Amino acid sequence: MAGVGAGERGEDADGGGLARAVRAEERAAPEHSRERIAAAAAALADASGLPAVSMRKVATALGAGTASLYRYVTTRDELVALMVDAVNGELGYPRPTTGDWRADVLAIGADLRALYRRHPWLLDIQPGATGIGPNGVAYLEQGLAALSPLDRPAGTKLEAVAMLSGAVSLFARDEASGASGATPDGRAATARYLAAVVTPETYPHLAEALSSPPRDAPAEDLFERMLGNLLAGLLGVR
């Protein structure tokens, strides 16, 4: 016997009951925006980490059907890119600089570090994986504005801005992981081990360096010193 046609079931020929249900769900869904979707997704990631973010969970958080979100965001990768740019907007760039390149760069570093602390899931995203959005462009502009007092090639300055971002993310990742070496107890354990194995005969250069170790500075001082020295070396300035 021949199969029953859509018209014989009293259903539309363009998809049947399931298609009609999806269309009805979309018509009933409240209006969204990419901004609202990104904010809801970022809130999920803040609460439960990046793996917890899915189109279904974001739709649930918005009180909508999953299908309705695909009118605004087509893939999860696109959603993550929107999330990244949305939280980058918290930096509030561009904004006026002081004319003191080091102070302005350290201020950017502090902003980025605070951003990673508020949204640690950012550290799970590989650099460059999401492309760049409007707020990422604003970050680059802020970094170049901070370095504008320096007489250096524009390309070198752009490299320095990229290096700043990478260095801060590494520092923030170390803090977020609770790595043993980042704690006072961890540093003490490392010092004991080095004292036991390093001698002038076995590791002469390291022994000389350890004979006058750097002071155990607070993390804030270490962060600023690291960034300042790194960028000064790259830019060839003091």
Express each pLDDT in 184-227 by its tens digit: 677 778 888 988 898 989 999 988 888 876 665 555 678 888 88
- Give the DSSP letter of residue 179: -
Cα–Cα distance between 37 and 66 in angstroms, integer?
11
pLDDT in tens, the chain (238 residues): 444 343 443 444 454 444 443 344 444 445 678 999 999 999 999 999 999 999 999 999 999 999 989 989 999 999 999 999 999 999 999 999 999 999 999 999 999 999 999 999 999 998 777 888 999 999 999 999 999 999 999 999 999 999 999 999 998 988 887 654 556 677 778 888 988 898 989 999 988 888 876 665 555 678 888 888 888 888 888 7
pTM over 0.85: no
Cα–Cα distance between 226 and 206 in angstroms, integer?
20
* Second-level CATH architecture of 15-74: Orthogonal Bundle (1.10)
Where are the chain's structural domains?
15-74, 90-235
CATH superfamily of the 90-235 domain: Tetracycline Repressor, domain 2 (1.10.357.10)
Cα–Cα distance between 38 and 80 in angstroms, integer?
8
Q: Name the region of 200 (left: φ>0; alpha: ψ -120 to 50; beta: rest).
A: alpha
Average of per-residue pLDDT values in the chain: 83
Q: Tell me, yes or no, if the two domains 15-74 and 90-235 fold the same way.
A: no
Cα–Cα distance between 125 and 84 in angstroms, integer?
9
Count of residues making up the chain: 238
Cα–Cα distance between 169 and 162 in angstroms, integer?
11
